[in-house]
């Protein structure tokens, strides 16, 4: 299903005065190659032209305050110039910081080496068992931590009390131990259920999935480095994608693949961001993100409206 934010576009246009840029300016700018006669409808903009609407959105986006908090030499200060991928990692934290084969820590380090960040969806039971050193390490490096339910159980038939425990129980663990309240939830296996959506609504949390599930790099999974590299090759991924991987495969296949493929993607103009950065860099306020469904990407369509899944 395609979800669009027309309101957002209009707000951006009103805030930044993008309406009429192409038509009005071209009439006074002799260097412009655009013909004023091509923009003939509302406020001088041809709203029937999909291309002009996307360009208009991008021009408005570039004036957003969100980019001004970064130094000029940081790609985030002009993130609209790049294709963005939000890499997300499920199921941990499993290994201790002292473990030489620490998968979570290596994922953080490799993303940082490639000037990026990502988001970890940890489970309550793993947090309880293995502690908060790895989540804190991720946070200290600009990553985001999120909620992957307490027991990784299916919430399809969960009663209300169970859904509260599986969702709020994890939020409480985060707040008590590292003072962070997660904004994002992903059920095990992208599970869905009536009471799950009810509790997520009460918590004002956003459900995050991925266009493609089944990366096979979960604990005990059969993913290979080559397979993961192919899956994340520049030809396969697209701007605005949310990618689902795991931080629990003891072979280290996940960070090994990232070490190969991230530099390739970087060279092709991709950059790697947290979920909150993905929304912000695409000009989407979190309050405008649809609730009650899984978000799989954040892409600005040719019609200048945002597509979420």
Q: Which residues bind Zn ion (CB under 5 A)?
A: 90-91, 188
Name the residue nearer to Zn ion (CB basis): 121 or 270.
121
Least distance from C-beta 33 to Zn ion, angstroms? Answer: 51
Name which of 90 and 299 has its Cβ closer to Zn ion.
90
Least Å distance, CB 12 to Zn ion, is: 35
Nearer to Zn ion, 125 or 198 (CB): 125
Distance in Å, CB of 72 to Zn ion, minimum? 39
Q: In angstroms, give the least distance from the CB of 290 to Zn ion.
A: 22
Q: How far is the CB of 90 from Zn ion (least distance, A)?
A: 4
Q: Which residue is nearest to Zn ion (CB)?
A: 90
Which residue, 242 or 300, is less far from Zn ion as judged by CB?
242
Q: How far is CA 78 from the centre of its chain?
A: 17
C-beta of 23 vs 188, nearer to Zn ion: 188
């Amino acid at each position: 299903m395609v979800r669009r934010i027309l309101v957002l576009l209009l707000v951006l246009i009103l805030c930044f005065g993008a309406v009429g840029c192409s038509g009005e300016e071209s009439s006074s700018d002799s260097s412009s190659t655009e013909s004023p006669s091509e923009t003939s409808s509302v406020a001088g903009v041809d709203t029937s032209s999909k291309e002009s609407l996307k360009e208009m959105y991008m021009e408005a986006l570039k004036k957003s305050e969100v980019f001004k908090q970064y130094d000029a030499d940081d790609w985030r200060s002009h993130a609209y110039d790049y294709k963005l991928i939000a890499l997300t990692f499920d199921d941990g934290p499993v290994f201790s910081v002292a473990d030489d084969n620490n998968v979570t820590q290596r994922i953080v380090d490799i993303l940082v080496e490639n000037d990026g960040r990502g988001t970890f969806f940890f489970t309550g039971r793993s947090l309880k068992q293995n502690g908060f050193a790895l989540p804190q390490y991720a946070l200290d490096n600009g990553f985001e931590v999120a909620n992957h339910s307490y027991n990784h159980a299916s919430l399809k038939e969960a009663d209300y009390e169970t859904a509260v425990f599986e969702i709020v129980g994890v939020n409480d663990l985060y707040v008590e131990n590292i003072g962070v309240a997660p904004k994002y939830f992903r059920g095990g296996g992208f599970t869905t259920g009536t009471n799950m959506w009810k509790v997520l609504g009460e918590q004002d949390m956003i459900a995050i999935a991925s266009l493609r599930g089944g990366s096979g790099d979960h604990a005990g999974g059969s993913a290979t480095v080559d397979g993961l590299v192919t899956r994340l090759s520049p030809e396969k991924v697209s701007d605005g994608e949310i990618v689902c991987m795991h931080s629990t495969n003891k072979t280290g296949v996940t960070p090994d693949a990232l070490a190969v493929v991230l530099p390739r993607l970087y060279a092709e103009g991709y950059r790697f961001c947290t979920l909150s950065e993905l929304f912000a860099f695409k000009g989407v306020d979190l309050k405008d993100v649809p609730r009650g469904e899984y978000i799989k990407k954040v892409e600005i369509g040719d019609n200048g409206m945002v597509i979420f899944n």
